[in-house]
Structure 1
Amino acid sequence: MLTGELRSNIDKVWEAFWTGGISNPLTVIEQITYLLFLRRLDEIQTAKEQQANDLQEPIENPVYPPDQYPLRWSRFKDIDPEARFELFRQSNGVFDFIRNLGQGSSFSRYMRGATFMIQTPRLLDQVVSLLDNVQMNDRDTKGDVYEYLLSKIATSGQNGQFRTPRHIVKMMVAMMAPGTDDVVCDPSAGSAGFLVSTGEYVAEYHRQALYKSAVQQHYRYRLLMGMEFDPTMIRIGAMNLLLHGIEPERLADVDALSKANAGFEDEATVVLANPPFKGSLDVDHVMPDLVRTVATKKTELLFLALIIRGLRTGGRAAVIVPDGVLFGSSKAHQQLRRELVEKHRLQAVISMPSGVFKPYAGVSTAVLVFTKTGSGGTDNVWFYDMRADGYSLDDKRTPTGPSFERFADLEALISQHKETPIHATDIPDIVNRWRNLAGEVDRKRTDQSFLVPVADIRANAYDLSINRYKEVVYEQKEYDTPEVIINRIKALDAERQTDLLALEEMLAQVAEN
């Protein structure tokens, strides 16, 4: 949990970057990420030294040779700011060291092309001092620090990329309820929010199981996999995982839709994703399998085809899609919806209000939940009309209801909602109803959630828009006849005339006196 003092210090550093001429939030976070990496390398070296000392043996695979000890965090953090700045900039200095590092951390492979952009000794000193005061042996604190930094991203990236709100991420993870033996994938990983939240969920709900060595190994190295082609985002995502205690071994630097990713097939047991919403690709560079599944250039449709391909049979997915995917009339849109309904098991469509992704975008979205079967199985599809997510639906996104940072907080809200309904956010209700779909059978289509038989979806050409199935009850109102209204107006006019005459008489008496 972040303290107010720590938040204030981070804000000061952010302001220092801004006044120092670095205003792009991604650039700021990337530069801080490099420094966090340096601190982690020093921690790895220190651990190796301690082990070697305990065993009275030479250090095995040291991160820093003795002649490069001055480049360690523990050495340069206390030297004069001017000397430290020069140490970073000089040839074979601190930054060259991490850029050319071949070992020491799984993060090192993402440093190709990294650029040091901190321009003054004062700014570097401020950032180093801040990070040195963060208790890095506390996974929750350092993870919260990074999440707070990521929350400052307020501009969308290229190709429709933008950060998924963390409360929406946690809602989807809670619905999927990943376990210790799952392989969870996000093929458009970005800052790795879905992967980090999955790791947090497993750590909270399966704490005892993680004491087993094999389970812990799977948790750290095999549980999570992701893909990201933006070099800045993959560095940020990898560091996000590291600071939450997970090695980014399976975070691939690859365009998920390209032929280079052809090996992603029948591998994941769970997919959680918010793929890019806009853009089209050159079909020649897309995996042929995807084009055969859905003949289109649209990224949002191709990513759904990729997710189906990448899931094992029986694997589950929760994916954010723009509303157009639900009701688009093109052949490709209909082809994909038919694929989900007839060849697999479509389970839920959660319609979200258009303000959820502000200030990044105002597009209306939905969460599709389905299981890959290869043989159909769709019977009833659960629809939920989300009206509130706990924040205002304008650009400011001001909190309007209870929030949650941990899954335990969400569980508390779910319990509270069962006793006293929470109207400021629908998320506790969504998770609760999803866990108890048997209770949805008798709900009417005038309710906020309801089940729709697959026969109705077929009859509507696989349209998945909630408005296609939701019934609206109009309250009948009776109005007086025109004659009654006219008589009422006449009576009011007569009353007004009487009052005016009384006022005139009162004024005349005052004038006489």
Structure 2
Amino acid sequence: MITGELKNKVDKVWETFWTGGITNPLTVIEQFTYLLYIKGLDDNEKKKEMDAELLGIEHEGIFPQDKPQLRWSIFSNMGPDEMFNVVSQEVFPFIKGLGGKGSVYSKFMKDAIFVIPTPSLLARVVAGINGLMQASNTDGKKDTLGDLYEYLLSKLSTAGTNGQFRTPRHIIDMIVKLMKPTPEDIIVDPAAGSAGFLVSAGEYLKENHSDMFLVQSLKEHFNQKMFHGFEMDGTMLRIGAMNMMLHGVDNPNIAYRDSLSEQNKDTEQYTLVLANPPFKGSLDYESVSDDLLKITKTKKTELLFLALFIRMLKKGGRAAVIVPDGVLFGNSNAHKSIRKEIVDNHKLEAIISMPSGVFKPYAGVSTAIMIFTKTGAGGTENVWFYDMKSDGFSLDDKRKPIDENDIPDILSRFNNLFNEVGRKRTEQSFFVPVNEVRTNGYDLSINKYKEIEYTEIKYEDPKVIIEKIRNLEEGIMKGLEEMEMLIK
């Protein structure tokens, strides 16, 4: 999330677009993102050049040596007219073809259009972005593009026709830390959006498994085969692809695909699913893959995505996904069948209940994180429940930082589940045996199992209370009489 000075500078750049004649919010977001991407390419290149110089090795850069004007640091210092010509005629064609004709970037950037109409507007926006990045305290590890995009999305009146909205970065990071991706994992997000989960997984691996980049096979796996994301929105695909490249992934497998349809044939291909699929909307049975309907016959996307995750995972593969609370306690046959499938045929490990304000200002829906492993042979023994009450931000539309934050406690307890045995149902986290879950119709809502301690409050005897009220009334009447005497 962005706040304070950085937020104000974003607002000023946004206002610059509007006063310059670009008033469609989605167009503003897309043009804004292109320019952030172009600046990010130059910033990343500078870091690589410095590293190569420090190590005394050759560096083959992405920018042609005979065209220094393609770099942000060069053209941003030009006059408005020259800058406009360079960006529109040279820089934009360059980023659209980056990586070669067969790259994921050229595939989705081919439809990108530069629509900033005048040199003066471009110059003002470029200056605004320079000021914006100076106000940012990022160190190259944080999802700056995603955080800025999250704030820009908040300016839209709706989250999207299919219920899509960006998952807050701190929630994504928490989920990734819970799952601890390994250098051998094959990671997928079938509703990738701006690729926040994939970016966070990549950053986790860089921080915790940096030695993997010394092994050629693991380095190639990271850049070519590890990350997979599917999305139906062309704008989001471009943003996701740019986000991945800015975070050092050479060729992520990001594709235009309706994950729930027959065109998605992926079966037992991935070892880790990280996702926050769309909650809203229903689909026609005809458009949904038949094998998903065999698991749960429904039109509800949130249930179909759970069936999809099971199908896509290899045996032993893990999933950490966000679901609306209704998935946990819904009484329809479809709701019960998908919960029964996960509990009885696989290994359900945890349900982390999140407060309803986590996704504000986009939505106020209550959600939970479901963590399970695909086994095909059961394995659920005890389900760990955690009642998250705060995520470090206020739960209103403003989402201001606060001191209360359960995320460190969640990470600590999940990493030491053996210490959770014996905790009472009145505490914030506890285990529930699988037989109790079955007895309760596979209800997975925490309120079904949580116990609340009621403290008995002792009140005074009614006669004493009445006497106190009478004394108060007498005092009031006496005061009124004295006031009457004063005004006579």
If the TM-score is normalised by the length of the shorter chain, which range does it land in?
Answer: 0.7 to 0.9
- SS of aligned partner of 1:188: coil
Could you tell me which residue of structure 2 aligns to residue 338 of structure 1? 340
AA matched with 1:18: W
Contact 1:110 1:231 in 2 (8 A): yes
- In 2, the alpha carbon distance for the partners of 1:436 and 1:500 equals 65
Q: How far is the alpha carbon of 1:185 from its aligned partner?
A: 1.2
Q: How far is the alpha carbon of 1:179 from its aligned partner?
A: 1.3
Deviations 1:249-288 (A, max 9, x none): 31122111122221x2112111111000011122222221
Contact 1:2 1:145 in 2 (8 A): no
Contact 1:2 1:141 in 2 (8 A): no
Contact 1:102 1:109 in 2 (8 A): no
Could you tell me which residue of structure 2 aligns to residue 399 of structure 1? 401
Mean Cα deviation higher: 27-36 or 344-353: 27-36
Could you tell me which residue of structure 2 aligns to residue 19 of structure 1? 19
- In 2, the alpha carbon distance for the partners of 1:6 and 1:400 equals 18
Q: How far is the alpha carbon of 1:17 from its aligned partner?
A: 1.7
Could you tell me which residue of structure 2 aligns to residue 118 of structure 1? 116
TM-score (norm 1): 0.81
Could you tell me which residue of structure 1 aligns to residue 164 of structure 2? 161
Mean Cα deviation higher: 475-484 or 293-302: 475-484
- In 2, the alpha carbon distance for the partners of 1:119 and 1:62 equals 28
Q: How far is the alpha carbon of 1:111 from its aligned partner?
A: 1.6
Could you tell me which residue of structure 2 aligns to residue 235 of structure 1? 238
Deviations 1:412-455 (A, max 9, x none): xxxxxxxxxxxx11111111111111121111111111111111
Mean Cα deviation higher: 348-357 or 482-491: 482-491
Q: How far is the alpha carbon of 1:322 from its aligned partner?
A: 0.7
Could you tell me which residue of structure 1 aligns to residue 31 of structure 2? 31
- SS of aligned partner of 2:316: strand
- In 1, the alpha carbon distance for the partners of 2:130 and 2:426 equals 56
Query: How many pairs are equivalent?
Result: 470
Could you tell me which residue of structure 2 aligns to residue 185 of structure 1? 188
- Superposed, 1:30-429 pairs within 5 Å as 30-35=30-35, 72-73=70-71, 79-86=78-85, 95=92, 99=96, 103=100, 106-129=104-127, 140-141=139-140, 144-152=143-151, 153-154=153-154, 155=156, 156-262=159-265, 264-401=266-403, 424-429=404-409
Mean Cα deviation higher: 81-90 or 457-466: 81-90
Contact 2:17 2:125 in 1 (8 A): no
Kindly tell me: are residues 266 and 106 of structure 1, through their superposed partners in 2, closer, same or farther at Cα, counting changes over 3 Å? same
- SS of aligned partner of 2:451: coil
Contact 1:391 1:399 in 2 (8 A): yes
- In 2, the alpha carbon distance for the partners of 1:245 and 1:122 equals 33
State, as a whole percentage, how many aligned pairs show the same letter: 53
- In 1, the alpha carbon distance for the partners of 2:463 and 2:441 equals 50
- SS of aligned partner of 1:270: strand
Kindly tell me: are residues 474 and 70 of structure 1, through their superposed partners in 2, closer, same or farther at Cα, counting changes over 3 Å? closer
Instruction: Give ranges in structure 2 of 5+ residues lacking alignment.
Output: 53-59
Contact 2:390 2:405 in 1 (8 A): yes
- SS of aligned partner of 1:123: helix
- SS of aligned partner of 2:162: helix
- SS of aligned partner of 1:445: coil
Could you tell me which residue of structure 2 aligns to residue 465 of structure 1? 445
Contact 2:226 2:252 in 1 (8 A): no
Could you tell me which residue of structure 2 aligns to residue 415 of structure 1? none
Contact 2:189 2:197 in 1 (8 A): yes
Kindly tell me: are residues 235 and 493 of structure 1, through their superposed partners in 2, closer, same or farther at Cα, counting changes over 3 Å? closer
AA matched with 1:286: V
- In 1, the alpha carbon distance for the partners of 2:234 and 2:428 equals 42
Kindly tell me: are residues 23 and 465 of structure 1, through their superposed partners in 2, closer, same or farther at Cα, counting changes over 3 Å? farther
Contact 2:282 2:301 in 1 (8 A): yes
Kindly tell me: are residues 178 and 159 of structure 1, through their superposed partners in 2, closer, same or farther at Cα, counting changes over 3 Å? same
Mean Cα deviation higher: 143-152 or 233-242: 143-152
Q: How far is the alpha carbon of 1:163 from its aligned partner?
A: 0.7
AA matched with 1:243: L
- In 2, the alpha carbon distance for the partners of 1:140 and 1:488 equals 65
- In 1, the alpha carbon distance for the partners of 2:174 and 2:113 equals 36
- In 1, the alpha carbon distance for the partners of 2:356 and 2:44 equals 45
Contact 2:104 2:253 in 1 (8 A): no
- In 2, the alpha carbon distance for the partners of 1:2 and 1:379 equals 41
Instruction: Give ranges in structure 1 of 5+ residues lacking alignment.
Output: 52-59, 402-423
Mean Cα deviation higher: 466-475 or 11-20: 11-20
Contact 2:323 2:367 in 1 (8 A): yes
Deviations 1:291-349 (A, max 9, x none): 11111111111111111111111111111011111111111111111111111111111
AA matched with 2:106: S
Q: How far is the alpha carbon of 1:466 from its aligned partner?
A: 1.0
Kindly tell me: are residues 103 and 493 of structure 1, through their superposed partners in 2, closer, same or farther at Cα, counting changes over 3 Å? closer
Deviations 1:81-135 (A, max 9, x none): 2244356657xx6545655778175411112322222122122223445667969
Kindly tell me: are residues 163 and 454 of structure 1, through their superposed partners in 2, closer, same or farther at Cα, counting changes over 3 Å? same
AA matched with 1:375: A
- Superposed, 1:490-505 pairs within 5 Å as 490-492=470-472
TM-score (norm 2): 0.84
- SS of aligned partner of 2:395: coil
Kindly tell me: are residues 442 and 25 of structure 1, through their superposed partners in 2, closer, same or farther at Cα, counting changes over 3 Å? farther
- SS of aligned partner of 2:405: coil
Kindly tell me: are residues 495 and 35 of structure 1, through their superposed partners in 2, closer, same or farther at Cα, counting changes over 3 Å? closer
Deviations 1:353-376 (A, max 9, x none): 111111000111111111111111
Alignment counterpart, residue 434 of structure 2, candidates 454, 469, 476:
454
Kindly tell me: are residues 178 and 96 of structure 1, through their superposed partners in 2, closer, same or farther at Cα, counting changes over 3 Å? closer
Contact 2:166 2:193 in 1 (8 A): yes
- In 2, the alpha carbon distance for the partners of 1:482 and 1:131 equals 68
- SS of aligned partner of 1:313: strand
Mean Cα deviation higher: 326-335 or 119-128: 119-128
| 1:482 has 2:484 as partner | no
Kindly tell me: are residues 71 and 106 of structure 1, through their superposed partners in 2, closer, same or farther at Cα, counting changes over 3 Å? farther
Kindly tell me: are residues 501 and 393 of structure 1, through their superposed partners in 2, closer, same or farther at Cα, counting changes over 3 Å? closer
Q: How far is the alpha carbon of 1:395 from its aligned partner?
A: 0.9
Contact 2:227 2:253 in 1 (8 A): yes
Could you tell me which residue of structure 1 aligns to residue 55 of structure 2? none
AA matched with 1:85: F
Mean Cα deviation higher: 465-474 or 70-79: 70-79
- SS of aligned partner of 1:257: coil
